[in-house]
Amino acid sequence: MLGILWNLGAFIVALGILIAIHEYGHFWVARKCGVKVERFSIGFGKTLFRKVGNDGCEYVIAAIPLGGYVKMLDERVEDVPESLKSQAFNRKSVWKRSAIIAAGPLANFGFAVLAYYAMLVIGVPSIKPVIVNVEADSPAQVIQVDEPKQITAISGRSVRNWEEAQMAIIGHIGDSSIEVTVEPVSGGASATYQLDSSTWKFDPETESPITSLGLVPFTPEISNTIAFVAEGSAAAKAGLQVGDELILLGGEPVNSWQGFVDVIKRSPGVPLPLEINREGERLQVSLTPDSETDRQGNVSGRIGIAPVTAQWPEAMQIELSFGPFEAIGAAADKTWHMMGLTLGMLGKLFTGDIALNNLSGPISIAQGAGSSAGYGLVYFLGFLALISVNLGIINLLPLPVLDGGHLLYNLVEIVTGKPVPENVQEIGFRIGAATLLVVMGFAIFNDIARL
């Protein structure tokens, strides 16, 4: 319950910040263009907070934090007194109207740069992308790994940690090849390999892009001692405790944590005799893994424990940090890269390279907000920047109900010299709204299916 409340709180904070930034972009440029703004609202529905400023604008925080709006004086919406008609949105030139519309998404991109800038100045503790092996019969099998090697670039783009490596690999979903550059951790010449990814399959629900490609990352030694037991889990019901050492499972020695996990996954609902060492005393318990069904209908066992792992070696750790001037370029580059990646993913969604079941909705965003906030400020800033870029890109899609649709109408007006007829606009808005509702329905359905 506390986890749900934490995720919800982080979600509201994140969404509130991003919506306020987006709407402020519209608000600020509208004022600069001489348009009278009547209301600036964060959220919809019942008003929780209301204040009328000296400028006559009504500032509102509403109960449903899933959007916001800037209400501008507009003769197409309401009657406008003759004295105020010069301040109406519809009386402004098509270029000023376009600037006001585009300002929201641009504000999101600007905020992403600021968030990445703050994150990079503070410093991001990271792990170097080091691999110790590759899987046979996988796209990565062509890489020669006779000693630990660090991935230094993906398709020519430098990567410094696993987060950058994963993002770069995800960008190649649907591509026929991926170029990976590695170099020995101990020093030596780098080598570049061309991976055949034409048959690469990646399911983000069950694996990471790294392992799905066949790369085996370096991980600290994992012991057979329990570090965490989830409340209400199969392990808790069996009486397992933090500090218990796993000795025998089904009469066979537990030689490795992965071997133990493999047996558990193969045994959903099957009682298994387990012998543990608890403070020097051997104990026998009966462990029955819970059944867990993935989206493909495969059933596997789960017991809800985590092992004690060794500390990451200092040589594997890195802190991405920049000086106040260097960070400007790095933040802008990271934002630009994320914009390109987001556009690429949207394109692959339409071409079918990415399935619709990969869409995420508000529940997934809330979980991401909660987990990133739990890790610390720099990770929450990174999450805000990522969602802000996505929000900006989505709003620029040429759907009439979005900013991009309004810009499309303005483009038609610029080319033809005449505004799009209001009845045509209305039909477009209805089509756009219906399309958006269908997509959101898919996203919410996927969220629920993942629970």
Where the chain has pLDDT below 50, the residues are: none
Which CATH number does the domain housing residue 194 bear? 2.30.42.10
Give the count of domains, the chain: 3
- The answer to whether residues 340 and 442 belong to one domain is yes
pTM: 0.81
- The answer to whether residues 240 and 185 belong to one domain is no
Which of the following is catalytic: 23, 82, 179, 231? 23
Q: How high is the pLDDT of residue 438?
A: 79
- The answer to whether residues 410 and 431 belong to one domain is yes
Who's near 397: CB < 8 A, 6+ residues apart? 346, 404, 405
- The answer to whether residues 315 and 180 belong to one domain is yes
256, 196, 249, 250: which is closest to 224 by C-alpha?
256
Please report whether residue 54 resides in a domain: no
**Contact of 17 with 384, CB cutoff 8 Å:** yes
Please report whether residue 182 resides in a domain: yes
- The answer to whether residues 108 and 257 belong to one domain is no
Please report whether residue 64 resides in a domain: no
- The answer to whether residues 329 and 424 belong to one domain is yes
User: Cα–Cα–Cα angle for 147, 152, 156, nearest 5°?
Assistant: 135
Residue corresponding to tokens 């909705």: 361
Please report whether residue 394 resides in a domain: yes
Domain boundary among 276, 310, 344: 310
Burial class of residue 413 (count of CB atoms within 10 Å of its CB; 0-12, 13-18, 19+): middle
For residue 385, CA distances in Å to 67, 111, 224, 331 come to: 17, 7, 38, 10
- The answer to whether residues 377 and 435 belong to one domain is yes
Largest interatomic CA distance in the chain: 89
Domain boundary among 289, 310, 331: 310
Domain boundary among 310, 330, 352: 310
Q: How high is the pLDDT of residue 447?
A: 60
Residue 23 known to be catalytic: yes
Q: How high is the pLDDT of residue 246?
A: 93
How would you label 84-117 residue by residue, b for 16+ Cβ within 10 Å and e otherwise?
A: eeebbbebbeeebbbbbbbbbbbbbbbbbbbbbb
88, 94, 92: which is closest to 36 by C-alpha?
88
Q: What is the pLDDT of residues 58-87, one digit of tens each?
A: 999 988 877 888 999 988 888 888 888 899
- The answer to whether residues 334 and 430 belong to one domain is yes
Please report whether residue 65 resides in a domain: no
Please report whether residue 151 resides in a domain: yes
Q: How high is the pLDDT of residue 289?
A: 92
Residue 266 has a CB neighbour count (10 Å cut-off) of 11
Q: What is the DSSP string of 389-451?
A: HHHHHHHTSS-TTSHHHHHHHHHHHHHHSSPPPHHHHHHHHHHHHHHHHHHHHHHHHHHHHH-
DSSP secondary structure code for residue 288 in this structure = -
- The answer to whether residues 258 and 279 belong to one domain is yes
Please report whether residue 25 resides in a domain: no
Q: How high is the pLDDT of residue 306?
A: 92
Please report whether residue 77 resides in a domain: no
DSSP secondary structure code for residue 92 in this structure = S
Domain hosting 236: range is 222-310
The C-alpha atoms of residue 122 and residue 131 are separated, in whole angstroms, by: 28
175, 170, 154, 139: which is closest to 351 by C-alpha?
175
